[in-house]
Amino acid sequence: MKPINVGLLGIGTVGGGTFTVLKRNQEEISRRAGREIIVKMIADKDIDKARSLAGSDIIVTDNAHDVVTNPDIDIVVELIGGKTIAKDLILEAIAQGKHVVTANKALLASHGTEIFAAARDQGVMVAYEAAVAGGIPIIKALREGLTANRIEWIAGIINGTANFILSEMREKGLSFEPVLDQAQKLGYAEADPTFDIEGIDAAHKITIMAAIAFGIPVQFDKAYTEGISKLTQEDIRYAEELGYRIKLLGITKRVAQGIELRVHPALIPKSRLIANVEGVMNAVLVKGDAVGPTLYYGAGAGAEPTASSVIADLVDVARMQTADPLHRVPALSFQPDSLTDTPILAMQEVQTSYYLRLHVIDKAGVLAEITRILADLDISINAMIQKEPGDDEDTVNIIILTHKTVEKNVNAAITKIEALSVVTGQVTRIRIEELNS
């Protein structure tokens, strides 16, 4: 069979890894795909770097449009990232009748609906395994392996940088800033680490998974996003003492009123497998009604792990290229005319349990005032402990674990508690996810 010709846009970490793995495993990949997969063109602004990698039989250009308009190219692999140039190039490639493989989670989480619709109109595929959790084949699992199930919820550690920071803070007793410096020196966190530490990268990924799991459009603008930059060593230690570990989770859940879509730090029981995912590794826990909980673990970033997903997509496209477009796996798992408009719930309406840490003056009646506020808002206390006095000896930390309650009531309680004269500073609020139902 005629080889399938690939044009690579971007030869950075993932592009380089894709090129290397394709070359190294060429023979086995061809035997699987049923035809050769050949990189025919590479576009990168750093043309010297691209040339040194490519050798003489690959066309190298610094103009990505040359690739997407070349009639010899069957699949465009977009590894540039970002939402502007990458979007234009993908739409142009689709308009030219080319299949697209991309790792661009930010783009798909915001503009996936438009891109998938354009691809459908042209009868081409847009494959994106590498966009979520790097080398873990979670898109394949959700779209195909779990297709019999009504998915109930997904909870994932889907940002390796944030997980590395939390692991180091817990294991070495360090605070956030020095560990972030270390992550940057090790090349995990970006020079501007905002997307990693503020939960934005994780929100892109959980948004994509929510769409596939529940048959809804991709709606990044409705995801609630809270990062790890305010977490303290103190809370990590208290959580540990209480039998929990703090992780940055991407969560999406089907509930009676709609769909929860949120990223935030959460206490999870230490006994859960996912609580023991450390360092830069990723893990995604999926609960299906038939299969029960399933866990997917692996490298969420890096040159070759991410290349593993890019190449899996290339093989999928090579295998399915000649199939009737209506018989291919739909981009979002559900048939495009079967997506629903089930609402994404505002964070205020989400129900979960809470860890609250209050810094209070140690005198008679303080707890009574606090518990009265909680009771009035129908917040039931699950556990409560008083920790060691602060430096001034007159204040103490009180930790309260609540039963499941609605977020707006907790917010109202925090406002009232912070207004009490016996409470100093702000109340720390971290959500608790038991991940067992």
**In the complex, which residues of this chain contact ligand HSE (CB under 6 A)?**
159-161, 196, 201, 300-301
Rounded CA-CA distance 229/250 in Å is 16
Instruction: Report CA dihedral (377, 231, 158, 160) to the nearest 10 degrees.
Output: -170
Q: Among residues 17 and 300, whose Cβ is nearest to ligand HSE?
A: 300
Q: Among residues 102 and 161, whose Cβ is nearest to ligand HSE?
A: 161
Rounded CA-CA distance 396/431 in Å is 22
Q: What does DSSP assign to residue 71?
A: T
Q: Computed over its alpha carbons, how large is the radius of gyration of the chain? A: 24
**Shortest distance, CB of residue 188 to ligand HSE, whole angstroms?**
6
Report the 10 Å Cβ neighbour count for 180. Answer: 24
Q: Among residues 99 and 105, whose Cβ is nearest to ligand HSE?
A: 105
Q: Among residues 115 and 197, whose Cβ is nearest to ligand HSE?
A: 197
Q: Among residues 239 and 301, whose Cβ is nearest to ligand HSE?
A: 301
Ramachandran assignment for 352, one of left (phi > 0), alpha (psi -120 to 50 degrees), beta (any other): beta
The H or E element containing residue 193 is: none
Residue 321 CA, chain-centre distance (Å), reads 29
Q: Which of 40, 98, 105, 205 is catalytic?
A: 205
**Shortest distance, CB of residue 406 to ligand HSE, whole angstroms?**
31
**Shortest distance, CB of residue 154 to ligand HSE, whole angstroms?**
16
Smallest CA-to-CA distance from 100 within 84, 133, 122 is with 122
Rounded CA-CA distance 43/293 in Å is 42
From the number of C-beta atoms within 10 Å of its C-beta (0-12, 13-18, 19+), residue 372 rates as exposed
Is 205 part of the annotated catalytic residue set? yes
First to last CA, the chain: 49
**Shortest distance, CB of residue 147 to ligand HSE, whole angstroms?**
25
- Both tokens of residue 306? 């991410």
Is residue 112 within 8 Å of residue 211, measured between CB atoms? Answer: yes
Helix axes 233-241, 160-172, angle to 10 degrees: 80
**Shortest distance, CB of residue 128 to ligand HSE, whole angstroms?**
12
Q: Among residues 202 and 360, whose Cβ is nearest to ligand HSE?
A: 202
**Shortest distance, CB of residue 161 to ligand HSE, whole angstroms?**
3
**Catalytic residue annotation:** 205
